[in-house]
Amino acid sequence: MSASSAGPAFRTLLVPVDGSPLSDKAVAAAIEFARPLHAKIIAVSVAEPYPDCLEPVTEDFDAKAMANARGRVMRAEQAIRQAGLDCDGVAVRSFEPHQEIVETAARLRCDAIFMGIHGGNPVGSFFFGSQAQKVLAHSTVPVMLLR
């Protein structure tokens, strides 16, 4: 059997992280999947900016959202590196997290996306769950959804 008929190669995996236990579960699943393949894992966290229509807001909101996103990425990177795998991290701002996840996967040539279905809180669960559905609908690479 030739290498091309062996199925898809998984060299780079994308894992969106939101700080929730399900996000941690997605990181762990990606690590287990990547380990025997020696695949690279990219952690991405999307900070949603404060909507302009809800002014006034403290100027710190967006900065705090980005700082939180960077912290989530650093935590995931630490777990991935402790597993002995190569990794990168990306923290971005977007009103459309699903779109940013799909675009990041394409831009960084990821071969699959591992993500949790729900977010870190009841409101986040509703929104992140729908984000996972949107990622699944728009992704051009396989998506592993974890509950």
Token pair listed for 88: 């990168």
Is 88 a domain residue?
A: yes
CB 93 within 8 A of CB 64: no
- Residue 20 inside a domain? The answer is yes
**CATH code of the domain in which 39 resides:** 3.40.50.620
Instruction: Give residue-wise pLDDT tens across range 29-45.
Output: 999 999 999 999 999 99
Contact yes or no for 147/66 (Cβ under 8 A)? no
pTM of the model: 0.84
Within a domain: 3? no
2 assigned to some structural domain: no
User: 116-131, pLDDT tens digit by residue?
Assistant: 886 444 544 444 457 8
In a domain, 26, yes or no: yes
Digit-coded pLDDT (tens) for 62-104:
889 999 999 999 999 999 999 999 999 999 999 899 999 999 9
Higher pLDDT, 12 or 123: 12
Tokens in use for 104?
Answer: 């990041």
Is position 133 within any domain? yes
In a domain, 4, yes or no: no
Which residue in 4, 9, 6, 16 sits closest to 98, CA to CA? 16
**What is the tally of structural domains in the chain?**
1
Residue 3 sits at φ, ψ, to 5 deg, of: -60, -35
- CA-closest candidate to residue 129, choices 112, 142, 146, 141: 146
Return the structure tokens found at 69: 């996103």
Phi/psi for 145 (5° steps) reads: -100, 130
Residue 137 belongs to a domain:
yes
> What is d(CA 3, CA 71) in angstroms, rounded to the nearest whole number?
39
Q: Show the domain range for 130.
A: 9-146
Rounded Cα distance between 95 and 7, Å, is 35
